[in-house]
Amino acid sequence: MKNILVELDNVSKKFLVSKGKFKKENKYVHAVNGISLKIYEGETLSIVGESGCGKSTLGRVINKLLDIEEGKVIFQKENITNYSSKDMLKYRKDMQVIFQDPYGSLNPRMKIKNLIEEPLLVHTNFNKNKREEKVLELLDMVGLSKGHAERYPHEFSGGQRQRVGIARAISVNPKLIIADEPISALDVSIQAQVINIFKDLQEKFNLTYLFISHDLSVVELISDRVGVMYLGNLVEIGDKKNIYNNPQHPYTEALLSAIPVAGVGQKKKRIILQGDIPSPIDRPEGCPFSTRCSYVFDKCRKEMPKLEDCSNDETEHRVACHLRNKKGRI
Ligand code: SF4
């Protein structure tokens, strides 16, 4: 039986974009809409979707950088939904974030050794010698050397800076790492190296990752489970093999059809979605994908599909589609 580290129960987050005269006329961006999911200890759950689908907001909701309007956030069996920043201090160490732009998240005036030492100063009572020892150990773990410790971030490549970001994140032995597009800014050859570091560290420290990405080919390399988001909704979730070998939601099918196939002469029919993503301010009624789905029928425009089991075996596979859930198939 796997232990649940994080549980989201019907979580919603909206942002006010314009104020009307009356509260009813206020306009909101619905970034996350009624999402329920679990993240198990030691696994990698990836969240994929186009830009603006709400996946980064979901990450920020989990580590309480954003408060939510509805639902519950449970971390290590504790309901942290209404915790203040002060209450969250004891959990900050356990939930670390790795950002897409490592350069933007590293203070350019600080040496690499001081950047890696910073979380140790905040979250541990290590003395100076112990901290220095730990910094060298962390540099080694992420494939950097002692010589890098005295340098500044601008002397590093993108891949090296992301290694520093990873070293900072793991320095305080977190339980959960939220990696928000951690390799999208890197060259393809470097991406593979950084993915390998993520995997090695997970094995060594039993880390749990929430891996946020728009790139399904990268996600396939690192995930145990995959969730697909569209317009703030979780439209499909399941074991990696179910999502990649037997996608059920028409949106997931379209995303997967865009992955290039390796091998000479190998071809895959690409599904080109018609129309643009609707505005998250004026969401369509019923299924959020109804304006672009080639299978759309009457019910889709009236009723929001629930995320329901569509698995053929014991493994997890759930989809929010009137056509593809078990009832729809009958
Ligand atoms: Fe398409 Fe209807 Fe399924 Fe939505 S519910 S994905 S519109 S078939």
pLDDT digits (tens), the chain, 330 positions? 789 999 999 999 999 987 777 666 788 999 999 999 999 999 999 999 988 899 999 999 999 999 999 999 999 999 999 999 888 988 889 999 998 877 788 899 999 999 999 999 999 999 999 999 999 999 999 999 999 999 999 999 989 999 999 999 999 999 999 999 998 888 888 899 999 999 999 999 999 999 999 999 999 999 999 999 999 999 999 999 999 999 999 999 999 998 877 666 666 778 888 878 888 888 899 999 999 999 999 999 999 999 999 998 889 999 999 998 766 654
| 231 close to ligand 1 (CB < 6 Angstrom) | no
d(CA 145, CA 9): 43
What pLDDT shows up at residue 269? 79
Q: Of all atoms in ligand 1, which is nearest to the CA of residue 249? A: 6
| 296 close to ligand 1 (CB < 6 Angstrom) | yes
Q: Of all atoms in ligand 1, which is nearest to the CA of residue 290? A: 7
Q: Of all atoms in ligand 1, which is nearest to the CA of residue 296? A: 7
What pLDDT shows up at residue 120? 95
d(CA 208, CA 219): 15
β partners of residue 209 = 44, 177
Q: Of all atoms in ligand 1, which is nearest to the CA of residue 251? A: 6
Centroid of ligand 1 to alpha carbon of 134 (angstroms): 52
Q: Which residues, other chains included, contact 229 with Cβ-Cβ below 8 Å and sequence gap of 6+?
A: 47, 48, 49, 53, 54, 55, 58, 235
| 116 close to ligand 1 (CB < 6 Angstrom) | no
Beta strands in 164-271 (DSSP E): 176-180, 208-213, 225-230, 233-239
Whether the CB-CB separation of 144 and 170 falls below 8 Å is answered with no
Q: Which of 321, 327, 329 to mutate to test the pocket of ligand 1 (most atoms within 8 A of CB)?
A: 321
Q: Of all atoms in ligand 1, which is nearest to the CA of residue 293? A: 1
What pLDDT shows up at residue 23? 66
Centroid of ligand 1 to alpha carbon of 329 (angstroms): 13
What pLDDT shows up at residue 99? 86
Instruction: Name the maximum alpha-carbon separation found in the chain.
Output: 68
In the CATH hierarchy, which fold is given to the domain comprising 1-94+175-223? Answer: Rossmann fold (3.40.50)
| 310 close to ligand 1 (CB < 6 Angstrom) | no
* Selection from 298, 299, 287 nearest residue 249 by Cα: 287
| 300 close to ligand 1 (CB < 6 Angstrom) | yes
| 226 close to ligand 1 (CB < 6 Angstrom) | no
Q: Where are the domains of the chain?
A: 1-94+175-223, 107-173, 252-258+265-330
Query: pTM here?
Result: 0.92
What pLDDT shows up at residue 52? 87
Centroid of ligand 1 to alpha carbon of 167 (angstroms): 43
d(CA 199, CA 206): 10
Beta strands in 191-276 (DSSP E): 208-213, 225-230, 233-239
DSSP element (H, E) containing 328: helix 326-329
Centroid of ligand 1 to alpha carbon of 230 (angstroms): 12
DSSP string spanning 225-243?
EEEEEETTEEEEEEEHHHH
| 230 close to ligand 1 (CB < 6 Angstrom) | no
Q: Are strands 27-40 and 208-213 parallel, antiparallel or unpaired?
A: unpaired
Name the residue at shortest CA distance from atom 7 of ligand 1: 290
Angstrom CA distances, 272 to 206, 256, 264, 269, 276, stand at 39, 11, 23, 9, 11
What pLDDT shows up at residue 132? 95
Q: Of all atoms in ligand 1, which is nearest to the CA of residue 235? A: 6
d(CA 61, CA 210): 12
Q: Which of 291, 294, 295 to mutate to test the pocket of ligand 1 (most atoms within 8 A of CB)?
A: 295
